[in-house]
């Protein structure tokens, strides 16, 4: 054992003795209670898959069609019900003030993870609701969709609750698998399959980076548990160069997942190729989970500032992340400006929003960063509502198995669908960050946290990027409100109630949240045990 550093030797032996202590009886009911929302998702997902498998009719007689449609209704209902139950469980865990650990500290439930879980569950609920219409419209009502969404949601919940590097990686891989499959869900469409494959290849690549990074962090600190890693780093026991390399690679891996420049290249293709409901689902939930985990990881693994003259690992990472944030904001918004397809525009604007979130993360890392974690989490909430609503709109506009994605397709929507147009106006205004919508407060909190942390330049870049973004959000408003339709949009298909519900609910929620945007700052950072 001579070649192993001494500090690792002690850690390893400690690990062995700890392993010896674990006996089968140590998994308690409390452990399962901690991951109850995820369990509910897994159970409903499996149930739906089974239901679909064993009841799918083989022949295409009228009777089986009829059965099929009642089966779909049942699946939709059960799927939504499962989400609601999971949400209720997450709400209950939000109530408990103290963080609790489960499964030998692999899982940590605190108000940070519960808040993010709730946002993810909200996104899942809206996506499933929108999917009711979409799948029927595109004749793709297979039970796998619900199953995949539920599994993805479950793994995301475990991802944000993960308190251990192994758990972290397992959860992110599971959720990525579900996301690849969802992207290529429309299996008869070339585009969808191609996009899924691209996403898969680049995603696996990024998982490699992430795994390597996590391994190096383990190597540097000799710990797998986040809290212990934090202690080791804070105590100055970690190997600094290894740690820096590990953290940098972790940031690269997570950068892929959140779609930060320059690791964004998969994102527009995957977003464009995926069925719109799946795009909406992925764009909010995967991003929320990954941003939250990145924030938690970087905050816990923060190295205190060393003596003058030497930058700490966190300071180096923070300056790298600032550059990434600036590049991401500018790139996302500038490229979105040039798109002719609404879906691609939204994909690039999603990159831009990642940039704003990174600003929040940078602010959280520096001094005076107590405000930032709450700001980041708050940002995710309106972002979830807006993003799902616009992708639902894309699905709603689709006719005859095709998306209608060009800006021109939206002309005259305000005359044929005035109520829908009004809701969209609210949503786009919120995207652009204009009061009295929630999008305004989201940007306000982020930029305020940035200024409080002394990152005025980041806030200025964010403002400039927002000015750019006005143009493409307005472009949609111009088409909806100011240009007459070239051809009248044909009547609503019989399945558009759920889409309308999602869009209306999002618009109303954005206005209400915009009028009552109070936020208790500093609550989440305490929950992290920082």
Partner 1 sequence: MSITLTLLIPVATALLLLCIPKDKTAELRITALFGSLATLAFSLALLGGFDAQYGAGFQFTEKHEWVPSLQVHYHVGIDGISLFLVVLSALLTPIAILCSWKSVEKRVREFHIALLLLTSGVIGVFVALDLLLFYVFWEVMLIPMYLLVGIWGGTERIRAAVKFFIYTMAGSLLMFLAILYLYQHTGTFSVEDIYQKPPLTGTAGLLCFLAFALSFAIKVPLFPVHTWLPDAHTEAPTAGSVILAGVLLKLGIYGFIRFAIPFFPEAAVLAAPWISVLAIIGIIFGALMCFVQEDMKRLIAYSSVSHMGFVVLGLFAFNEQGVQGCVLQMVNHGISTGALFLLIGAIYERRHTRRIIDFGGLAPVAPKLAIIFFITTLSSIGLPFLNGFVGEFLILQGAYSRNIFYAAFAGLGIILGAIYMLTLYRRIFFGETDREENAEMKDLDGRELAFLLPLVGLMVFLGLFSPWFTAKVQPSIEVWMTLLLERGG
Q: Which residues bind partner 1 (CB under 8 A)?
A: 414-415, 418, 425, 429, 434-436, 440, 444, 447-448, 451-452, 456, 459-460, 463, 466-467, 470-471, 474, 478, 481-483, 517-521
- Least separation in angstroms between residue 59's CB and partner 1 is 49
- Least separation in angstroms between residue 238's CB and partner 1 is 34
d(CA 430, CA 282): 20
Instruction: Give the 3-state secondary structure of residue 147.
Output: helix
Q: Which helix (H) or strand (E) holds 242?
A: helix 240-258
Nearer to partner 1, 201 or 515 (CB): 515
| C-alpha dihedral (201, 202, 203, 209), degrees to nearest 10 | 120
The dihedral built from the CA positions of residue 280, 284, 287 and 293, taken in this order, carries a sign that is negative
- Least separation in angstroms between residue 405's CB and partner 1 is 21
Nearer to partner 1, 219 or 368 (CB): 368
Nearer to partner 1, 100 or 415 (CB): 415
- Least separation in angstroms between residue 209's CB and partner 1 is 35
d(CA 346, CA 342): 6
d(CA 505, CA 520): 24
Count Cβ neighbours within 10 Å for each residue of 442-478 and write b for 16 or more, e otherwise: bbebbbbbbbbbebeebbebbeebbebbbebbebbbe
Nearer to partner 1, 201 or 482 (CB): 482
- Least separation in angstroms between residue 436's CB and partner 1 is 6
Helix and strand tally (H, E) in the chain?
A: 22, 2
Nearer to partner 1, 393 or 458 (CB): 458
- Least separation in angstroms between residue 326's CB and partner 1 is 15
Q: Which two tokens stand for residue 184?
A: 């290529």
Nearer to partner 1, 248 or 464 (CB): 464
The dihedral built from the CA positions of residue 265, 268, 273 and 276, taken in this order, carries a sign that is positive
Closest CA to 409 of 506, 488, 522, 337: 488
Residues 6+ apart with CB under 8 A from 146: 44, 45, 48, 75, 76, 78, 79, 128, 131
Where on the phi/psi map is residue 139: left (φ > 0), alpha (ψ -120 to 50), or beta? Answer: left
- Least separation in angstroms between residue 379's CB and partner 1 is 15
Nearer to partner 1, 85 or 511 (CB): 511
- Least separation in angstroms between residue 381's CB and partner 1 is 15
Nearer to partner 1, 40 or 449 (CB): 449
Write out 373-435 in H/E/C secondary structure. HHHHHHHHHHHHHHHHHHHHHHHHHCECCECCCEHHHHCCHHHHCHHHHHHHHHHHHHHCCCC
Nearer to partner 1, 235 or 418 (CB): 418
- Least separation in angstroms between residue 435's CB and partner 1 is 4
Nearer to partner 1, 8 or 422 (CB): 422
Residues 6+ apart with CB under 8 A from 64: 57, 58
- Least separation in angstroms between residue 96's CB and partner 1 is 23
Nearer to partner 1, 109 or 363 (CB): 363
Nearer to partner 1, 294 or 390 (CB): 390
- Identify each DSSP E strand in 173-259 by its residue range: none
- Least separation in angstroms between residue 431's CB and partner 1 is 13
Nearer to partner 1, 164 or 466 (CB): 466
Helices (H), 56-164: 62-95, 111-137, 143-161
d(CA 297, CA 227): 10
Q: Which helix (H) or strand (E) holds 107?
A: strand 107-109
d(CA 275, CA 431): 22
- Least separation in angstroms between residue 466's CB and partner 1 is 6
- Least separation in angstroms between residue 507's CB and partner 1 is 14
Residues 6+ apart with CB under 8 A from 239: 5, 219, 220, 221
């Amino acid at each position: 054992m001579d070649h192993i550093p001494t500090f690792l030797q002690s850690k390893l032996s400690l690990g062995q003795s700890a392993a010896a202590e674990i006996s089968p009886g140590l998994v308690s009911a409390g452990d399962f209670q901690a991951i109850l929302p995820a369990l509910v998702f897994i159970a409903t997902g499996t149930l739906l898959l089974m239901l679909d498998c064993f009841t799918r009719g083989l022949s295409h007689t009228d009777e089986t069609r009829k059965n099929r449609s009642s089966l779909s209704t049942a699946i939709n209902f059960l799927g939504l019900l499962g989400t609601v139950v999971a949400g209720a469980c997450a709400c209950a865990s939000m109530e408990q003030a103290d963080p609790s650990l489960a499964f030998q500290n692999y899982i940590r439930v605190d108000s940070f993870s519960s808040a993010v879980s709730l946002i993810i569950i909200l996104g899942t609920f809206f996506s499933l609701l929108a999917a009711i219409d979409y799948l029927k419209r595109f004749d793709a009502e297979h039970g796998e969709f619900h199953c995949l969404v539920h599994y993805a949601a479950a793994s995301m919940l475990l991802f944000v609750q993960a308190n251990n590097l192994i758990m972290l990686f397992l959860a992110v891989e599971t959720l990525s698998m579900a996301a690849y499959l969802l992207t290529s869900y429309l299996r008869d469409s070339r585009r969808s399959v191609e996009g899924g494959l691209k996403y898969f290849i680049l995603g696996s690549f990024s998982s490699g980076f992430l795994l390597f990074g996590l391994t190096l962090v383990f190597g540097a600190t000799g710990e797998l548990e986040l809290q212990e890693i934090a202690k080791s780093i804070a105590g100055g026991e970690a190997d600094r160069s290894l740690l820096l390399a590990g953290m940098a690679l972790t940031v690269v891996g997570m950068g892929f997942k959140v779609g930060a420049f320059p690791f964004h290249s998969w994102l527009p293709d995957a977003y464009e190729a995926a069925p719109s409901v799946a795009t909406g689902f992925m764009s909010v939930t995967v991003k929320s989970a990954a941003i939250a985990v990145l924030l938690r990881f970087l905050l816990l693994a923060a190295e205190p500032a060393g003596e003058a003259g030497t930058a700490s690992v966190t300071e180096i990472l923070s300056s790298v992340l600032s550059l990434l944030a600036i590049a991401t904001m500018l790139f996302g918004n500038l490229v979105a400006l040039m798109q002719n397809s609404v879906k691609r525009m939204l994909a690039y604007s999603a990159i831009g929003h990642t940039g704003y979130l990174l600003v929040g993360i940078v602010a959280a890392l520096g001094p005076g960063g107590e405000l930032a974690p709450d700001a980041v989490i708050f940002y995710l909430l309106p972002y979830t509502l807006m993003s799902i609503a616009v992708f639902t709109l894309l699905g709603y506009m689709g006719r005859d198995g095709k998306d209608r994605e060009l800006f021109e397709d939206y002309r005259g929507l305000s005359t044929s669908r005035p109520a829908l147009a009004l809701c969209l106006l609210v949503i786009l205004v919120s995207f652009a960050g204009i009061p009295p919508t929630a999008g305004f407060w989201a940007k306000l909190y982020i930029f305020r946290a940035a200024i409080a942390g002394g990152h005025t330049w980041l806030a200025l870049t964010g403002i400039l990027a927002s000015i750019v973004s006005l143009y493409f959000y307005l472009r949609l408003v111009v088409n909806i409100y100011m240009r007459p339709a070239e051809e009248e949009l044909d009547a609503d298909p019989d399945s558009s109630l759920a889409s309308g519900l999602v869009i209306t609910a999002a618009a109303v929620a954005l206005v209400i949240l915009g009028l009552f945007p109070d936020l208790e700052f500093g609550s989440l950072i305490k929950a992290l045990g920082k």
